[in-house]
Structure 1
Amino acid sequence: MSNFYDELCRFYHVIFEDWNASIERQGSQLKNLIESNWSQDKRILDVSCGIGTQAIGLSQNGYQVTASDLSVNAIERAKYEAQQRGQTNISFSVCDMKTAFAHHGGNFDIVISCDNSIPHLLTDQDILSALKQMYSCLRPGGGCLITIRDYDKEQRTSQNIVKPYGKAKIENDKRYIALQVWDFDQTNFQYYDFTLYIIEEDLKSKNILTHAMRSRYYAISSDKLIKLINDAGFENVKRLDQCFYQPVFIGTRPFT
């Protein structure tokens, strides 16, 4: 999994029509979710920060952010992007979310994992292990917030499913076109192999490079994820829609 993001991190922003606007929008949306469900909590841990989309957005909204990711390259870029935007107080480090408590310790107000990171974990036991780590990182009464793709809506019966990203992106005299290809496992249709293609065209020389980055995902249902969040010890677990670009799953660590 880390190899996938080590390769992807230099291109990650090109899958957004406007990455800076996405940082601001997601930061604002997450702020609204946090304030609606856990009031004015300020100390945030992001256990799958990637190149910093949510971590930077939350920092811009006044949160104290600690952020980690499995990918060394992604963390290096996240540090750079945060510095470029004046968000120098974010604490970035490399960490597997399944060892988050040993690495970060506890007493955070909120722990987040966004952008479909949890489904990289391919068994219920691995997901439960990560959720228990997130639980341990929280103070009593703290909140867990996860976003994933809406797998309940996916047709799981085929391979060669092509999912293009909107418009091509042009920067530094190059045009980038991004698209995904999904190949569902034909045995049980719970898993799919994922290839992200980035087509890079030099507009001056007309040379074209194609970059292919591959990973595998668990197409976990909402009901299964809610059950695992409950099993990890959280209460008031629920799915929220129409408040973020992906479905949001939240739970709260009990006070007792």
Structure 2
Amino acid sequence: MTKKFYNDLAPYYKLLYQDWDASVVRQADALDRVIKVFVDTTSKTILDVACGIGTQSIGLARLGYQVCGSDLSPVAIEQAQKEALRYGVEVEFRVADMRQVWEFYQKLFDVVIACDNSVPHLLSDDEILLSFKQFYQCIKPGGGCIISVRDYAQIERNDSQKMYPRTVHQTEDGQLVMFDVWNFDGDQYEITTYIVEDKGGSDAKTKIIHGGKYYCVEIPTLERLFIEAGFRQVATLKDKFFQPLLVAIK
């Protein structure tokens, strides 16, 4: 379901941001600072195991990092390749599952990243631990893993449904409105994304994308799972990125 969700969302993914190109620059600058301070100033190679359309991979490549990016969605990977070409950077984009990245790459990197709340798409502690062990195997001794996640301890889950606005973009003949509806079921929820083309009339064309499932895993659990996977220390940074960052050192 998650693969289909991102295949369907990929053509619209940039519109989730008010200014995607500005976000590419801003997020890369933030991650670069974190890598230099919390991992190693000499880090050069990065594996982005949830690259999507390249938001972080492309920005980091612009800063001189050697980046490989993988994602479960082939449509997102195709879009990432086009964006990298537009930016004039070299990134090796491949289709791969984060739960199998060591088997896929069989090589070591200075840093592994998984941003944009991608890890909670894994719907159990066991699935997350499996992935963290794969990340660990892909990292050079002394290197690090950086993930960004929602802080689910701060999200009210009393209601079975919530609506979250995304963006409004002006078009030639109206506006494009994006919002999400979250449907909760215990410690999991499913996102449905609505993309509404408003051309000024009484009827609007709406694209509905179903199937983005998440596990409301909280930060202390992620910290524990990093240690269980073999990492020797973990730091949570809540003010360095648009989402909390967890930095785990091998």
Residue 172 of structure 1 and its aligned partner are, at CA, apart by: 5.1
In structure 2, how many angstroms separate the alpha carbons of the residues matched to 1:206 and 1:127? 46
1:246 maps to which of 216, 231, 243: 243
Correspondence list, 1:221-240, <5 A:
221-240=218-237
- Where in structure 2 are the equivalents of 1:47-58 lying within 5 Å? 47-58=49-60
Task: Give the deviation of 1:171 after TM superposition.
Answer: 4.0
Q: How far apart are the structure 2 equivalents of 1:106 and 1:234?
A: 18
Structure-1 residue corresponding to 2:22? 21
TM-score, normalised relative to structure 2: 0.95
Task: Tell me, in whole angstroms, the C-alpha distance in 2 between the residues paired with 1:134 and 1:174.
Answer: 44
User: What is the CA distance between 1:202 and its match in structure 2?
Assistant: 4.1
* Contiguous gaps of at least 5 residues in structure 2: none
State the match for 1:12 in structure 2: 13
Percent identity at matched positions?
Answer: 40
* Structure 2 match to 1:182: 182
Moved more, 169-178 or 157-166: 169-178
For each residue in 1:191-223, what CA deviation from the matched residue of structure 2 results, as whole angstroms up to 9, or x when unmatched?
1121111112346x8862211222211010111
CA contact (8 A) 1:34 1:40 kept: no
2:218 corresponds to which letter in structure 1? S
> What is the CA-CA distance between 1:236 and the residue it aligns to?
1.5
CA distance in 1, matches of 2:239, 2:92: 30
Q: State the AA in 2 paired with 1:156.
A: R
What is residue 140 of structure 2 aligned with on the other side? Answer: 139
Gaps of 5+ in 1: none
- Please identify, of 4-13 and 172-181, the stretch whose mean Cα deviation from structure 2 is larger: 172-181
| Structure 1 residues 197 and 40: alpha-carbon distance in aligned structure 2, compared to 1, 3 A threshold | same
CA–CA distance in 2 between the matches of 1:202 and 1:49?
33
Between the aligned partners of 1:252 and 1:115, the Cα distance in structure 2 is: 20
In the superposition, the TM-score normalised over structure 1's length comes to 0.93
Match for 2:216: what amino acid? A
| Aligned equivalent of 1:213 | 209
Deviation at 1:147, TM superposition (A): 0.4
Q: CA deviation at 1:173?
A: 4.3
Counterparts of 1:91-110 in structure 2, within 5 Å, are: 91-110=92-111
How far off its partner does 1:176 sit?
A: 1.4
Residues in 1 aligned to 2:104 and 2:137: alpha-carbon distance in whole angstroms = 11
Q: Residues 141-170 of structure 1: CA distance to partner in whole angstroms, max 9, x if unpaired? A: 11000001111100111122111124x112
Cross-structure match for 2:67: 65
Root mean square deviation, CA, Å: 1.4
- 1:108-135 deviation per Cα after TM superposition (whole angstroms, max 9, x unaligned): 0000000011011101111111111100
Shift of 1:174: 5.3
Q: Distance in 2 between matches of 1:207 and 1:65?
A: 44
After TM superposition, the structure 1 = structure 2 runs for residues 30-179 of structure 1, keeping only pairs within 5 Å, are 30-38=31-39, 39-87=41-89, 89-166=90-167, 168-171=168-171, 173=173, 175-179=175-179
Post-superposition shift, 1:84? 0.5
- Note the alpha carbon deviations across 1:74-104, whole angstroms, 9 max, x for none: 00000001100111x1000000011101111
Q: 4+ residue stretches of structure 1 with deviation over 3 A?
A: 171-174
